[in-house]
Structure 1
Amino acid sequence: MTHIRKAVFPVAGMGTRFLPATKSIPKEMLTLVDRPLIQYAVDEAREAGIEEFIFVSAAGKGALEDYFDTAALLEHRLREKGKTAALDALACSHMPEGALTILRQAQPLGLGHAVRQARHLIGKESFAVLLPDDVIMGAPGALKQMVQAHARVGGHMVATLDVPRADTASYGVLDVAQQQGRIAHARGMVEKPAPDAAPSTQAVVGRYILESAIFDRLAALTPGAGGELQLTDAINADVDAIGVTGYRFAGERFDCGSVQGYVQATAAYAMARSDLGGPFADFVNQRTGAQQMAA
């Protein structure tokens, strides 16, 4: 069994970059091909051995809870009509009884504040945090890779990817003390440094494995960048006491918090599907060729 059994999913954001769609649909319910964003994060967590799923949500996000509930009437009608393929498609949205807990973040006070809400459910265990906006395509999934690495090194671990130096101001960036393969032992993290001040080009993305001691740091946290309670600040406070590592995962990350990243992810997942990839690639090639001719 994995030593990481619980995961926190911060899903309280308003998704303003996707308005007007997110006026009535939670951002996490926007679909990549035929599954919502949240499903990809949950699937990745399940693959890594997660058994308890904690959503830190907000008002107006009831569709998330409904999605993972049993649709008894729908399933009954599909069964009556012999639509076994449709029934099979619903299986991934089923949660074992008691596996999903919904918490409310009353105010949007930052990622550190969101994670802090889960303290009483995590207890003294190490746990994972997954940001559904960051969709990572890879086999095995990024979190499973991290869980395996964390079993060897312990401490707080963050997922990293190498970015162009010109892009460091858009990320938290690791200050690397020592690199050992995919694992970087860190002096800490710097939040959105200017390119000429960035300590490295290893950017932190939305996967974390944290020791329960982080909750003491979060309890004492004061507002940081943007006036919010920053998870980065709490992790930095534990560099000496617990240790912080970055794990450079194998896989492709899409920033589905942006429209551009979401469209790219949709295309990538469609092309990876055996039933869609060929026709979709033909369509893209035809469109590209027509645009080039028109130009």
Structure 2
Amino acid sequence: MFKDFIDSAEISPPVAATPPAGAAADWTVPQHWERFTAEEHAVWDLLFARQQEMLRGRAVRAFAEGLDVLRLSRPGIPELGELNARLHARTGWTVVSVPGLVPDDVFFAHLANRRFPAGNFIRSRDQLDYLEEPDVFHDVFGHVPLLALPAVADFMQALGRKGLEALDRGVLDRLARLYWYTVEFGLAREDGALRIYGAGILSSFGESRFSLESAMPRRRPFDLAEVLRTTYRSDAFQTGYFVIDSFEGLLDSVLEADLDALYEAVAPLSDLDPARV
């Protein structure tokens, strides 16, 4: 399966908004690791140590195993050249620097070509627990360790392709829900216990505990049609989560689904409230 993906041709996005000054056409920028300050590196180290301890016994095993790709020779924010050498050797993925949020077509084209865009900045010390725009800690600590697992790497590339198709069909809002409830805020059942795999939770000190231990949110078995109908909020802890049994099963469910038919089937149906699904 892995070889089938990496042998495919480069996928280009449709014409997107003009990239900012200093960025390439695909919105990438040089990382310039040497320009990060001692304080910025210290914030990374603080976040890394705090979150690694919080996730002990809470994250899926593959996350802890994938953290090896972030244990690099230099302290602080990972230098992408060294990081990419280790990550690419495992699954053919690389991380590229971008100035911030990028247009949807650019984002999904990167995923479709096994590149993950990471914001080239880090939050300040007084924003440790909340940042509206994803920074390098969320993007690299939250996403990259699981990209070292072949099934997740293939799933992310599949989502990139499905995202470009959804954009073309005008149904990106549906595909965005699948991305949200898996890649960002997914839970998994592992050895009979709930574990975290979504990057939005993995990089959040508060939601790491809330997602597993609070009695407030609903936790439902993953069902693709339900996910496509379920709304979400980006400004608060989730009120509902979907639970997968395995990454391989998640990948198969998306690759084998007729998403066009599903989009049509759910279009006339009302949206579902994640707290009441």
Q: What is the TM-score with the length of structure 2 in the denominator?
A: 0.32
The structure that is helix-richer by fraction is: 2
Which protein has the larger Cα radius of gyration, Structure 1 or Structure 2?
A: 1
The structure that is strand-richer by fraction is: 1
